[in-house]
């Protein structure tokens, strides 16, 4: 019998979603501080047969936690102890910022979805960098005898920075975070920072990615930090193909597809549409974006083959969902929204289901 669904219904559902997030995050970190999650690290660790090598990095599982849950790098080790193969921190910006006014996080429980307009609230690159470095050091000690979880860092534009200064803003984060991260993800696809998605246009994205790639290579000389770009599901198919081809041309390592969607129609939502429209602007994530996310994955795979690592995210809930993405060409799969609905054992359940699928059970 699973306890979390009842806990979610009785405790978290009546609570403001952002407050519930902080309470849950506090709980995960508290378990680590008390030593309980260290036991979890051993019990919930992915089976060795799930290990996969992507972008030159060894991941203990192909399933990881997408950016958005740990925006500040404050819970990396505690989250990894739950069984995620990688934790993507962020989005982190060059300057600390509070994000958009509250309320800014909304549940669509009937659809197992979330609408957010958080606005990259985070502590800034200078503060997050040492936390990532400390987590990597902890991993080197705690996972000395096995494959350790991977730490990615997702970087974005500071809201107050003008569009024509965006590249330098991303380079501030690159200089600070590339030496600490296992890989970097350039986020140009959140709908909650004004003008950010304009950076997805090839003519503006090309110089940005080129500059970040060169800066990462300049500041990290003892290894090559893999670089990915995260794109929106709302891009036209032809634009997605152009971005993928450009990523190859620039020597990027992968694409993360996809971010949240600004769409509301055509998603098959069962929630009251009056409520949905009342919530207003923001990116929608969760089960309703699964179809488009899978379409984008297949489109990129058919266009570039094995020339890029593909990280699929959007609407993943079960181990079978994850395996479907892997079968469709993904090298790694990420989730986030279902974590809120499924609870702290979610990654463990997915890893266990993946193992059963691979054994033919």
pLDDT tens string, the chain, 361 residues long: the values are 577 777 778 787 778 889 988 888 888 888 777 665 565 566 788 999 999 999 999 999 999 999 999 999 999 999 999 999 999 998 999 999 999 999 999 999 999 999 999 999 999 999 999 999 999 999 988 888 889 999 999 999 999 999 889 999 999 999 999 999 999 999 988 776 777 777 777 788 899 999 999 999 999 999 999 999 999 999 999 989 999 999 999 999 999 999 999 999 999 999 999 999 999 999 999 999 999 999 999 999 999 999 999 999 999 999 999 999 999 999 999 999 999 999 889 999 999 999 999 888 5
Please give the residue range of the domain that contains residue 63.
4-356
pLDDT (0 to 100) of residue 357: 95
Residue 24 domain flag:
yes
**b/e map 119-158, b = 16+ CB within 10 Å:** bbbbbbbeebbebbbebbeebeebeeeebbbbbbbbbbbb
Q: Is 68 annotated as a binding residue?
A: yes
Q: What is the DSSP pairing of strand 309-313 with strand 332-335?
A: parallel
Q: Is 301 annotated as a binding residue?
A: no
pTM for the structure as a whole: 0.94
pLDDT (0 to 100) of residue 145: 81
Is 190 among the catalytic positions? yes
Residue 276 domain flag:
yes
- For the chain, report the end-to-end CA distance as a whole number of angstroms: 21
Q: Is 122 annotated as a binding residue?
A: no
**b/e map 2-27, b = 16+ CB within 10 Å:** eeeeeebeeebeeeebbebbeebbee
Q: Is 175 annotated as a binding residue?
A: no
Q: What is the DSSP pairing of strand 332-335 with strand 63-65?
A: parallel
Residue 327 domain flag:
yes
Residue 361 domain flag:
no
And the tokens for 304?
A: 């570039």
Residue 169 domain flag:
yes
Residue 144 domain flag:
yes
pLDDT (0 to 100) of residue 201: 79
Residue 323 domain flag:
yes
Q: Check: CB of residue 155 under 8 Å from CB of residue 173.
A: yes
pLDDT (0 to 100) of residue 28: 82
Q: Is 100 annotated as a binding residue?
A: no
Q: What is the CATH classification number for the domain harbouring 126?
A: 3.20.20.70
Q: Is 38 annotated as a binding residue?
A: no
Looking at 37, 61, 190, 271, which residue is catalytic?
190
Q: Is 260 annotated as a binding residue?
A: yes
**CA dist 231 → 86, 88, 278 (Å):** 19, 15, 27
Q: Is 29 annotated as a binding residue?
A: no
pLDDT (0 to 100) of residue 35: 60
Q: Is 274 annotated as a binding residue?
A: no
Q: Is 116 annotated as a binding residue?
A: yes
Q: Is 34 annotated as a binding residue?
A: no
Q: Tally the domains of the chain.
A: 1
């Amino acid at each position: 019998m699973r306890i979390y669904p009842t806990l979610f219904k009785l405790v978290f559902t009546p609570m403001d979603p952002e407050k519930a997030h902080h309470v849950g995050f506090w709980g995960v970190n508290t378990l680590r501080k008390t030593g309980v999650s260290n036991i979890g690290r051993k019990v919930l660790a992915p089976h060795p047969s799930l290990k996969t090598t992507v972008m030159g990095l060894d991941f203990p599982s192909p399933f990881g936690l997408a950016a958005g849950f740990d925006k500040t790098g404050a819970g990396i080790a505690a989250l990894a102890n739950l069984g995620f193969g990688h934790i993507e921190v962020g989005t982190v910006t060059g300057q600390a910022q509070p994000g958009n006014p509250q309320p800014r996080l909304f549940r669509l429980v009937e659809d197992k979805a979330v609408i957010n307009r958080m606005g990259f609230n985070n502590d800034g690159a200078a503060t997050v960098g040492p936390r990532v470095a400390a987590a990597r050091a902890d991993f080197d000690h705690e996972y000395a005898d096995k494959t350790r979880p991977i730490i990615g860092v997702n970087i974005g534009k500071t809201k107050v920075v003008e569009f024509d200064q965006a590249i330098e803003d991303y380079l501030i984060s690159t200089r600070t975070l590339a030496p600490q991260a296992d890989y970097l993800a350039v986020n140009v696809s959140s709908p909650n920072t004004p003008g950010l998605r304009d950076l997805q246009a090839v003519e503006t994205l090309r110089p940005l990615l080129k500059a970040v790639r060169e800066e990462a290579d300049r500041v990290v000389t003892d290894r090559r930090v893999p670089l990915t770009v995260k794109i929106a599901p709302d891009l036209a198919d032809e634009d997605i193909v152009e971005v993928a081809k450009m990523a190859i041309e620039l020597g990027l390592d992968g694409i993360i597809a996809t971010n949240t969607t600004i769409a509301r129609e055509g998603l098959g939502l069962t929630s009251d549409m009056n409520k949905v429209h009342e919530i207003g602007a923001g990116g929608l994530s969760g089960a309703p974006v699964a179809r488009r996310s899978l379409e984008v994955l297949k489109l990129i795979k058919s266009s570039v083959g094995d020339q890029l690592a593909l990280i699929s995210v959007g609407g993943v809930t079960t181990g079978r969902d994850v395996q479907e993405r892997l079968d469709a060409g993904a090298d790694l799969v990420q989730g986030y929204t279902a974590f809120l609905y499924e609870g702290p054992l979610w990654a463990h359940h997915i890893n266990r289901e993946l193992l059963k699928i691979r054994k033919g059970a």
